[in-house]
């Protein structure tokens, strides 16, 4: 399934950055095979950033209905709470930072 569909099943906003971050928090990202997780690919003509993973070394796993169901279950058990709390605190800190 495509990413917005997957996000919807998880009850998440249909944005790739959000899905990627949350799957990462749950340890569901997979190591990029092109760069073996280094984020660098030396054979590019322009720079050495791996295009397969955008230089992060990790890629989204196959977005299946089964994975979405597993994610929902783990969410219901509260496994994503520490991550969401972290995000909330970061947002609050950014909002109270001077010069904004």
Binding site residues, Zn ion, CB under 5 A: 32, 34-35, 50, 52-53
* Residues 60/19, Cβ–Cβ less than 8 Å: yes
Residue 22 sits at φ, ψ, to 5 deg, of -75, -40
CB of 61 to Zn ion, least distance (A): 14
Query: Of 60 and 87, which CB lies nearer to Zn ion in the complex structure?
Result: 60
Give the Cα separation of 63 and 100 in Å (integer).
37
Query: Of 9 and 40, which CB lies nearer to Zn ion in the complex structure?
Result: 40
Query: Of 50 and 68, which CB lies nearer to Zn ion in the complex structure?
Result: 50
């Amino acid at each position: 399934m495509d990413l917005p569909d997957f996000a919807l099943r998880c009850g998440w906003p249909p944005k790739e950055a959000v899905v990627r971050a949350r799957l990462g928090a749950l340890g569901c990202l997979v190591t990029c095979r092109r760069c073996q997780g280094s984020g660098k690919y030396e054979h590019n003509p322009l720079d050495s950033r791996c295009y397969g993973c955008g230089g992060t070394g990790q890629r989204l796993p196959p977005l299946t209905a089964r994975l979405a169901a597993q994610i929902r279950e783990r969410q219901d058990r509260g496994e994503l709470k520490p991550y969401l709390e972290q995000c909330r605190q970061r947002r609050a800190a950014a909002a109270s930072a001077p010069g904004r």
